[in-house]
Amino acid sequence: MDLIVARNREDLVKARRAGTVALVPTMGALHEGHRSLIRQARVRADQVVVSIFVNPLQFGPSEDFSRYPRTFDADLDVCRAEGAGVVFHPAAEDMYAPDRQVAVSAGAMGGVVEGAFRPGHFDGVLTVVLKLFNLVQPDLAVFGQKDAQQLALIRRMVADLDLPIAILGAPTVREPDGLALSSRNRYLSDDDRRVALALSRALRAGAARLAPAEIRAAAREVLDEAGPALDVDYLALVDPATFTEVNETYAGPAVLAVAARVGATRLIDNVTLTLNPA
DSSP H or E run through 34: helix 32-42
- Asked if residue 29 belongs to a known ligand binding site, the reply is yes
Whether residue 188 contacts residue 260, with contact meaning beta carbons closer than 8 Å, is answered with no
- Asked if residue 189 belongs to a known ligand binding site, the reply is no
- Asked if residue 33 belongs to a known ligand binding site, the reply is yes
Whether residue 188 contacts residue 263, with contact meaning beta carbons closer than 8 Å, is answered with yes
- Asked if residue 182 belongs to a known ligand binding site, the reply is yes
- Asked if residue 183 belongs to a known ligand binding site, the reply is yes
DSSP labels, 161-209: TT---EEEEEPPPB-TTSPBP-GGGGG--HHHHHHHHHHHHHHHHHHT-
The rounded distance, in Å, linking the Cα atoms of 144 and 73 is: 22
Pairing of strands 86-88, 140-144: unpaired
- Asked if residue 32 belongs to a known ligand binding site, the reply is yes
Q: Quickly count: other Cβ atoms within 10 Å of residue 8's Cβ.
A: 14
- Asked if residue 147 belongs to a known ligand binding site, the reply is yes
DSSP H or E run through 234: strand 230-238
The rounded distance, in Å, linking the Cα atoms of 269 and 12 is: 33
- Asked if residue 105 belongs to a known ligand binding site, the reply is no
- Asked if residue 146 belongs to a known ligand binding site, the reply is yes
- Asked if residue 85 belongs to a known ligand binding site, the reply is no
Whether residue 58 contacts residue 124, with contact meaning beta carbons closer than 8 Å, is answered with yes
- Asked if residue 145 belongs to a known ligand binding site, the reply is yes
DSSP 137: -
- Asked if residue 184 belongs to a known ligand binding site, the reply is yes
Q: What is the 3-state secondary structure (H, E, C) of 58-126?
A: HCCCCCCCCCCCCCHHHHHHHHHHCCCCEEECCCHHHHCCCCCCCCCCCCHHHHCCHHHHCCCHHHHHH
Q: Is 121 a catalytic residue?
A: no
For residue 102, the Cα-to-chain-centroid distance in whole angstroms is 23
**Catalytic choice (6, 24, 26, 34):** 34
For the annotated catalytic residues, the residue numbers are 34
Binding-site positions read: 27-34, 58, 144-147, 150, 173, 181-184
Binding-site positions for ATP read: 27-34, 144-147, 173, 181-184
Binding-site positions for (R)-pantoate read: 58, 150
Binding-site positions for beta-alanine read: 58
